[in-house]
Amino acid sequence: MSSILESPATAPGHFGPYGGRYVPETLMVPLFELERAYELGKSDALFQAHFQNLLRNFAGRPTPLQFASRLTEKLGGPRIYLKREDLLHTGAHKINNAIGQGLLAVKMGKPRIIAETGAGQHGVASATVAAHLGLECVVYMGTEDMARQALNVARMRMLGARVVAVDSGSRTLKDAINEAMRDWVTNVRTTHYLLGSVLGAHPYPVMVRDFQAVIGREARQQILAAENRLPTHLFACVGGGSNSIGLFHEFLRYPDVKMIGVEAGGRGGQLGEHAARLAAHQGFTGARPGVLQGTYTYVLQNEDGQIATTHSISAGLDYPAIGPEHAWLADQRRAEYWAVSDQAALDAARLLSRTEGIIPALESAHAIAGLVERLPKMTKNDLVILNLSGRGDKDMDTYSRLL
Amino acid sequence: MNTRIEKRFEALREAGELGIVGYITAGDPSPDATPEFVAALDQAGADVIELGVPFSDPLADGPTIQRASERALKSGTTLAKVLDLVRLIRQASQVPLVLFSYYNPILQMGLEKFASTAAEAGADGVLATDLTPEESDDYRRILGAQHLDTIFLGAPTSTDERLAKIAACSSGFLYLISRTGVTGAKDALPDDLPALLRRARAVTRLPMAVGFGISLPAHVSVLGGLADAAVVGSALVSEIEKATKSGASASAIDAATSALSEKVRALKQAARHGLSRREVTR
């Protein structure tokens, strides 16, 4: 039974019925080119050496797996380890993928990269890699997100990127992706679209996962070294789903390792009040399989197939669709999905700050809240790895207003 | 069984005339206006009419059609209502009608229900902007069973091999995108357009409509002899936008209707008689 879980792609670019390529025709051949470049890069020793070198010496890998002793004691349940992606250069896991795709852009001879960003972490990572590799960089960002993540806007500009304000729709991540895709379809011959999550048309969900899978590979070795056993539970927040897939991927072959993806429950279960695509079991309404921005997956939408607006206090989780591999993992019951409220995430951010001396990003705070809500179903024998995907500097405005 | 689209292209071919395909977003600025606009386009000489189904996330469209989609959604337009409009239009006109949609609204209605309702209402063909041949097996089977033409897009970036595949999945006509980019009016047609048409002609006998960026009679004249039809979208939609800027009153709709007629008449004129090369380049 493990074969479908190991590599759930049933047809190239598909995860069961999910995934695929749903894009304007103009983008199809560029997607094939990207897929080919990526496949070649995988077996290209020089490319891999360059990638590993940048991960180690530019981004700061490997990241520590830290035993959270005071949090463990405080919660009184399982032993908790934090995978410290927040310690990476630029402050989040996003840099792993940005380095990989930046090198691919160079390999494909594309002098210009574009990116979308919600929380700004992927935009900063893209701008950083572009500066490091000498590429032109344009980042699309919703105006609502620009307001709540002003620090990251300044960082991108400092790095020489152009930040384009997107004022359509909900003025958040979804609208930034629309605008980035319009740029890409126009400038496709010179431009690589550096998509930041396991979303979009094939090969993005597979490629971004593979670039992020280093998180789980390191974590498995580190937990074996520290505890001499595999974890019983993995926790990670899920917006598009790249940090969670990055942690989960390595562990898919171990059926006893439970995986919990934590979504943004926002202010409540009504459509428009949350960004929970796989938490219908908790009463979050409006998600059905559909096509958005290149892929077939669970999408928050109304009965007529119009995409819903979403709400989350966390810009990085505020998105109506989820990576297609997560949809498949949920259908297979290989991973569980659980949504926590804005308030629970804020409480969790305070908890981690005061027990461990780590201010988490609002996104990662959702994972901590998910762990807290799961405690009644766990024992002291359980062993948790929680992906601390980003640091909270960018969220200090929100924290200082609401805490 | 020949569809209305096939018959119209046959007639155009016999007359040696370039067809005009007119696009408007259904429900912009109100559902009531759409049948009036279609009647005007039909009477002014449009050969095929594309009715855009508004979508919340029109990522292949430029600002003009994005705004039209927003207006149409605000006026309560859904795919089901667009199909009602088709039924209404069909009572008065035999003009070939193509539904131009993003894939998700069709998928959410359900392919079977969509195909049977669209066919029964009197639609002739469907183009789903973000549906590629690779993902279209069920779609083509189910729409084909209802004798709906399935129209796919060919792009300047498409290889010859892909153009052949796209053509094999298409019926009615092949829609060639004149340039990379989103929808929207432009001043000039791209230099590599004749090459794209030549490459497409080499792999299919389907009629070719060229769209994206076409707004002027001069564009239409240039396409005569190269393509079988010119698609005019944003240029029509902006006429509607201009005329209804301060609301969708009856007089504003009338003004938009006459503007559409005038625009299509001028384009049709250029298609029938053409301009000399010198006039085109002047």
The DSSP secondary structure of A141-178, one letter per residue, reads: EEHHHHHHTHHHHHHHHHTTPEEEEE-STTSSHHHHHH
Which residues touch B76 (CB under 8 Å, ≥6 apart)? B27, B31
The first and second tokens of residue B38, run together, are 């279609």
Provide the strand spans (E) within A241-286.
258-266
| Nearest-angstrom CA–CA distance, A49 and A44 | 9
Q: Which residue in the list B28, B50, B228, B239 is annotated as catalytic?
A: B50
Give the pLDDT of residue B1.
61
> Confidence class of residue B187 from pLDDT cuts 50, 70 and 90?
confident
Give the pLDDT of residue A245.
98
Partners of B153 on chain A (C-beta within 8 Å) are 24-26
Q: A127 vs chain B: nearest CA distance in angstroms?
A: 23
> Confidence class of residue A157 from pLDDT cuts 50, 70 and 90?
very high
Contact status of A186 with chain B (Cβ, < 8 Å):
yes
The first and second tokens of residue A384, run together, are 């948790």
Burial (Cβ within 10 Å: 0-12, 13-18, ≥19) of residue B56? buried
Q: What is the pLDDT of residues A16-37, one digit of tens each?
A: 999 999 999 999 999 999 999 9
Which residues touch A101 (CB under 8 Å, ≥6 apart)? A113, A129, A192, A194, A195, A207, A208, A211
Q: A183 vs chain B: nearest CA distance in angstroms?
A: 8
Kindly tell me if the per-residue pLDDT of B273 is higher than 90: no
Contact status of A301 with chain B (Cβ, < 8 Å):
yes
Residue scoring higher pLDDT (A6 or B125): B125
Beta bridge partners of A140: A116, A164
Contact status of B59 with chain A (Cβ, < 8 Å):
yes
Q: Is the dihedral of CA A376, A378, A379, A380 positive or negative?
A: negative
B57 in catalytic set: no
Average pLDDT over residues A60-65: 98
- Best of A36, A306, A309 to disrupt the B interface (most B CBs within 10 Å) is A306
Put simply, the answer to whether A25 touches B66 (Cβ < 8 Å) is no
Average pLDDT over residues A337-356: 98
Task: Give ipTM to 2 decimals.
Answer: 0.94
Contact status of A36 with chain B (Cβ, < 8 Å):
no
Q: What is the pLDDT of residues B192-210, one digit of tens each?
A: 899 999 999 999 999 999 9
Q: B243 vs chain A: nearest CA distance in angstroms?
A: 23
Residue type, B212: F
Residue B126: how many CA atoms within 13 Å on its side-chain side? 34
Give the pLDDT of residue A10.
52
The first and second tokens of residue B241, run together, are 């936008």
Partners of A10 on chain B (C-beta within 8 Å) are none
Give the pLDDT of residue B186.
81
> Confidence class of residue B277 from pLDDT cuts 50, 70 and 90?
very low
Contact status of B161 with chain A (Cβ, < 8 Å):
no
| Nearest-angstrom CA–CA distance, A179 and A198 | 18
Is there a contact between A20 and A296 (Cβ–Cβ < 8 Å)?
yes
Is there a contact between B229 and B20 (Cβ–Cβ < 8 Å)?
yes
Give the pLDDT of residue B272.
87
